[in-house]
């Protein structure tokens, strides 16, 4: 069951930190484990903030740069 929270867990993840102990975590792996408190969670795609090292890929059904003019 998911309940409304204050967003602090996601904010820590977006800042590259462990939401439990606030140690630095690399979220580029599929599964990540905090080296300090051993919290294990999904990694790749968990951050809402866009990674500046990745290209903005179109969402399913969306076509970037392919506008058709009739």
Report domain extents, the chain: 8-42
Which pLDDT score is estimated for 6? 83
Is pTM beyond 0.85? Reply is: no
Torsion of CA 59, 40, 12, 54, to 10 degrees: -30
Q: What is the pLDDT of residues 12-50, one digit of tens each?
A: 988 999 999 999 998 888 889 999 999 998 877 777 655
Q: What is the three-class DSSP state of 9? A: helix
């Amino acid at each position: 069951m998911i309940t409304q929270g204050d967003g602090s867990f996601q904010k820590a993840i977006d800042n590259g930190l462990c939401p439990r102990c606030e140690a630095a975590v690399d979220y580029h792996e599929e599964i990540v484990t905090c080296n300090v408190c051993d919290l294990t969670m999904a990694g790749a795609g968990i951050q809402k903030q866009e990674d500046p090292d990745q290209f903005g890929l179109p969402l399913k059904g969306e076509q970037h740069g392919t506008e058709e003019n009739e």
